[in-house]
């Protein structure tokens, strides 16, 4: 009797803790770069202890590189969801023809249509995305009140965005938050401000990836290999869903259902439909396939991915030098720039984070300085630093804060990097988040300054193609 009671108790506890673990799992934190900012911005490595800013050190200049906020699916991806709806009907019809019971099939799937069916346009900033940037503007103003308290002038607070509407709309939403209650327009006391955009045909600072022919060629050539890496995961999950629902899912179906899951969870906060088809461990694997693609085609997987972002790094660094010059010359307020604020895309922000050497481990910083390929992000359940939901969620941002410190400190000027509003260690600065300007210049900026954008991007170089390291994706690993 006692043995039976003990077994029942063990079973109860196992079910209880399993249930608690499922409740703790939030699929919205595992959507790679489709993650919404407010859901993931505070999901970080708590082992890092930020530097206490020394007494007397004051911020004198800000550099912001931000991704646009949460957006609707693009027109191309909306068409994919329409095809998925047709495909689901085919699967259900086949099951009926083979007299397979449909009682296992979730009720929502039987009548599902894409929430974006009939829309003619896509990719625009949605209201959640507007809120993300508006609130970010308010928080940054509250965090640096003495730096952002001056009367608005476009030369003092420079705002730049790409010509893509969701990026320029994000810049406007941010500016409305940053300058709220600073004007006389309407009940919100808003004020007008300028957003500068470079032509798409010549924007090598915020859309360098779009002007870089060598990168376009690399990406086109590498995409089939990336798909090959992802295939075993999709195949395994397709087999599992076939057995569970008696529907003949293919790997392409899994890819489309995973995309639907990401859109439903991020944009609509619906987590019990497409996302409910996958277990937490399957979600982790699907997220990893996205992160693999993200790493190889946009991140550390190839040196060109980030080297082409040097024009942006140059712009950031030169703005810091100009701020230091203004400080040294004791220029009057209104005569020099206090913040340079940029709004672009994941393809902008990710290479920039790589140029700074963020999210690296151990000796990887030295390897990227030698242009050596890095190992791909380890497969779950192994831990990894490189996560799309952390590196570049919707409205993800990198803020470089230039500080002026007292003359008795080790350096007169320091750079602090905030990623998604949190201090982050810089391997190039010996793992510190508060870096002497001279070290930042010598170790992080200078090694990249030797690169010429035109030579990198538009001159055919006679050198072997750099290939990313391989990884094992079989179900047995």
What pTM does this model have?
A: 0.90
Q: How confident is the model at residue 302 (pLDDT cuts 50, 70, 90)?
A: very high
Give tens-digit pLDDT for 411-442.
999 999 999 999 999 999 999 999 999 999 99
Spatial distance between the Cα atoms of 236 and 282, rounded to a whole number of angstroms: 9
> By the 8 A CB rule, do 421 and 415 touch?
no
Instruction: List the one residue out of 276, 253, 254, 251 whose CA is nearest residue 265.
Output: 276
Q: How confident is the model at residue 15 (pLDDT cuts 50, 70, 90)?
A: very low
The more confident residue out of 276 and 451 is 276
> By the 8 A CB rule, do 400 and 63 touch?
yes
| Other beta carbons less than 10 A from residue 26's beta carbon | 13
**pLDDT over 50 at 18, yes or no:** no
Widest CA span in the chain: 87
pLDDT of res. 20: 40
pLDDT of res. 19: 41
Q: Is 341 helix (H, G, I), strand (E, B) or coil?
A: strand
Q: How confident is the model at residue 462 (pLDDT cuts 50, 70, 90)?
A: low
| Other beta carbons less than 10 A from residue 95's beta carbon | 18
Handedness of CA 433, 436, 437, 439 (dihedral sign): negative
| Other beta carbons less than 10 A from residue 379's beta carbon | 18
Spatial distance between the Cα atoms of 399 and 153, rounded to a whole number of angstroms: 21
Q: What is the mean pLDDT of the chain?
A: 91
**pLDDT over 50 at 85, yes or no:** yes
Instruction: List the one residue out of 293, 384, 421 whose CA is nearest residue 347.
Output: 293
Bridge pairing between strands 339-344 and 422-423: unpaired
Bridge pairing between strands 339-344 and 157-161: parallel
> By the 8 A CB rule, do 357 and 365 touch?
yes
Peptide bond into 476 cis (omega under 30): no
The residue-averaged pLDDT of 191-218 equals 96
369: left (phi over 0), alpha (psi -120 to 50) or beta: alpha
> By the 8 A CB rule, do 351 and 206 touch?
no
**Cα dist. 245→173, 237, 274, 468 in Å?**
44, 12, 13, 37
The residue-averaged pLDDT of 136-153 equals 95
- First and final CA of the chain: distance in angstroms? 42
Q: How confident is the model at residue 13 (pLDDT cuts 50, 70, 90)?
A: very low
pLDDT of res. 17: 40
**pLDDT over 90 at 404, yes or no:** yes
Instruction: List the one residue out of 126, 155, 135, 146 whose CA is nearest residue 57.
Output: 146
Handedness of CA 429, 433, 436, 440 (dihedral sign): positive
**pLDDT over 90 at 377, yes or no:** yes
Residue partners of 430: CB distance under 8 A and separation at least 6 = none
Give tens-digit pLDDT for 23-37.
589 999 999 999 999
Candidate from 5-19, 282-296, 398-412 with smallest mean pLDDT: 5-19
């Amino acid at each position: 009797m006692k043995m039976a009671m003990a077994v029942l108790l063990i079973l109860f506890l196992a079910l209880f803790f399993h249930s608690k673990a499922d409740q703790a799992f939030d699929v919205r934190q595992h959507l790679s770069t489709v993650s919404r900012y407010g859901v993931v911005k505070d999901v970080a490595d708590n082992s890092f202890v930020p530097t206490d800013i020394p007494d007397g050190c004051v911020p004198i200049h800000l550099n912001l590189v931000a991704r646009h906020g949460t957006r609707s699916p693009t027109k191309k991806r909306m068409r994919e969801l329409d095809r998925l709806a047709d495909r689901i009907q085919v699967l259900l019809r086949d099951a009926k023809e083979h007299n397979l019971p449909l009682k296992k099939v979730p009720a929502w799937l039987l009548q599902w249509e894409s929430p974006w069916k009939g829309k003619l346009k896509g990719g625009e900033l949605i209201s959640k995305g507007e809120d993300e940037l508006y609130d970010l503007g308010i928080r940054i103003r509250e965090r640096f009140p003495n730096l952002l308290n001056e009367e608005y002038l476009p030369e003092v607070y420079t705002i730049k965005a790409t010509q893509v509407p969701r990026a320029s709309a994000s810049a406007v939403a941010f500016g409305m938050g940053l300058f709220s209650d600073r004007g006389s327009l309407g009940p919100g006391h808003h004020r007008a401000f300028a957003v500068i955009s470079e032509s798409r045909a010549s924007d090598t600072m915020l859309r360098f990836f779009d002007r870089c022919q060598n990168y376009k060629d690399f990406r086109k050539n590498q995409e089939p290999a990336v798909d090959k890496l992802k295939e075993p995961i999709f195949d395994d999950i397709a087999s599992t869903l076939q057995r569970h629902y008696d529907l003949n899912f293919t790997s392409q179906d899994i890819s489309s259902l995973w995309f639907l899951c990401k859109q439903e969870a991020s944009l609509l906060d619906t987590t019990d439909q497409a996302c409910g088809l996958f277990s937490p461990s399957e979600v982790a694997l699907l997220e990893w396939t996205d992160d693999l693609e993200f790493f190889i085609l946009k991140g550390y997987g190839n040196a060109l991915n980030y080297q082409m972002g040097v024009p942006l790094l140059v712009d950031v660094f030169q703005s810091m030098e100009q701020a230091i010059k203004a400080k040294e010359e004791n220029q009057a307020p209104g005569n020099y720039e206090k913040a340079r604020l940029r709004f672009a895309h994941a393809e902008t922000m990710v290479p920039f984070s790589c140029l700074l050497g963020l999210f690296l481990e151990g000796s990887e910083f030295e390897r990227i300085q030698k242009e050596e390929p890095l190992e791909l992000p380890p497969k779950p359940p192994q831990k990894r630093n490189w996560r799309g939901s952390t590196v570049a969620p919707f409205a993800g941002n990198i803020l470089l804060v230039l500080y002026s410190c007292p003359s008795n400190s080790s350096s007169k000027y320091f750079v602090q990097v905030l990623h998604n509003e949190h201090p982050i260690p810089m391997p190039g600065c010996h793992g510190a988040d508060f870096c002497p300007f001279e070290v930042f210049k010598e170790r992080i900026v200078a090694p990249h300054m030797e690169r010429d954008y035109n030579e990198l991007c538009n001159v055919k170089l006679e050198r072997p193609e750099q290939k990313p390291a391989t990884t094992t994706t079989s179900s047995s690993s």
